Structure 1
Amino acid sequence: MKQQLTTKLVELESTRQGLVSELASAFNYENNYKQRLTKIPRLEQQERQLEGKVRASQSTYALLLQKLQESRIAENQTVGNASKISEAIVPRSPVSSVLIYYLSGGLIGVFLALATMYILEVRDKTIKTFDEAKDLLGLTVLGVIPTFNKSKKYIRGEESLEFPVSSLVVRDIPRSPISEAFRMLRANLKFMSADKELKVIVITSSVPGEGKSTIAANLGASQMCKNALTL
C-alpha cells in the first residue's frame, strides 16, 4: 500500500508540475493577448486612415478615367481642317554656305574679343597716364625719367651710344636724353623752392627695385655737374 501511495504521489506531483507549466503558459498567452488588445485601437485608427486614402485615390482615379474618356470622345469628334498638298522634298545640299558660318564665327569672335577688352579695361584700376596720376593724387609731375632696364642705345648725331644699367648716365653720357631728363627734374625741383633753399629731398617708392637709388645717384650727379660748371 505504501509503495502504491508513493507511486501515486509521484504521478500526482508530475501532473501538478505539468499543470503549473501549462498555467504559466496560459498566463503568458493572456499577457500577450492583453498587449495586442491595447494595440487594437491604434490599428483601427490606422485602418480608418488607410481606408480614407483608398477611397480618395479611387475617387481621383474615377475622375481621371472620366476625363480621359471625355478627351477621347472630344478627340474623335474633332475633324482637322488640314490637308496634304504634296510630299515634302528633302534637300540634298545645305541651304546656307560655309562662308556664312565663317563670317558669323569671325564676327562673334571679334565681338567677344571687344567685350573681353572692355571688361578688362573696366576692371583695371591701375594708373596709365600722367593725367590720371595728377587727377588721382592732386600733385604736380616734376619730370619723366625713361626706363632703361636693359642696355639701350641713344644716337647723338651719327654716333651710337650704349650704356649699362648700373652706370651713372649723367656722369658717363651727359648728352643723352636720359641725362637731360635728370637735369630737367633738378631744374623743376629748384623752381618749386625758388623762395627758399631746398635742403632735403626724399626719394621713395611703393615696392623695392623701382629705381630709387638710380634716381638719387643721377640727380646728385646732375647737381654736382651744375656746381662744377658754376665754379
Structure 2
Amino acid sequence: MRYVQEQRGKSGIIYCNSRAKVEDTAARLQSRGISAAAYHAGLENAIRADVQEKFQRDDLQIVVATVAFGMGINKPNVRFVVHFDIPRNIESYYQETGRAGRDGLPAEAMLFYDPADMAWLRRCLEEKPAGQLQDIERHKLNAMGAFAEAQTCRRLVLLNYFGEGRQEPCGNCDICLDPPKQYDGLNDAQIALSTIGRVNQRFWHGLRCRGDPRRE
C-alpha cells in the first residue's frame, strides 16, 4: 500500500487474482483518500462501463481489477501497473504490464510475489482435468514462477521466454538496479557437512557399543 500511496495523482492499475481481494484492496485505498474503484466480471455491465469511462477521463486514479479489466483499454498515461498476486502465465503478465507507459514516458511495473500464491495456483491447476492442456498450463505457471524468482535481468528473462535473443541487460529492472548479493557458501557447506559427518559417526559408534556383545 505504501508504494501505491507514493503514486498519488498518477494513473495506475492494480491486478488481483480474486474478486474478493479486488473489492478489499479498492476499499482500503478509498479509506486512505485515494481515488480508486473495483472492476471484475461480477459487477454489473453499467458499473464496469462507468469505471472504464472515469479511468479513461482521468476522473479515477486507480482501477483495482481482475484479468477482466484491460481488454480494449488504450490509456496512454498509465504510470504504473501493480500485480498484488502473481499471474498464471508470462503472457498475461506481459500483456498487463504493457498497459503502462504507452505515451513513451517512464512507467513502472511491480510484482508482489509470495510462494504461497504459486502453491495455491498449482492446487487450482491440479483440480482441472488431466491432459495436454493441463500440462501446457503447468509449464506456463512454472515459467512465471521462474521469472518471479529470477536472479538475472528480468527483461532478458522475458525476451528469452518469447524466443528473442537480446544479450544486453536492460539496466532498468530491479535486478539490474540492485543486483542480488552473491554469497559463496562453499566453505560453510563443507563445515556443515563435516559436522554432520562427525555427529553421524558418533551416533553410529554409540549404536555399535550398545549392541556390542562384549559389553553385555
TM-score, length-normalised on structure 1?
0.21
- Name the structure where helix makes up a greater proportion of residues: 1
Q: Looking at both structures, which has the greater relative contact order when contacts are Cα pairs under 8 Å and sequence separation is at least 6? A: 2
| TM norm structure 2 | 0.22
Select the structure that is richer in strand.
Answer: 2
Larger radius of gyration: 1
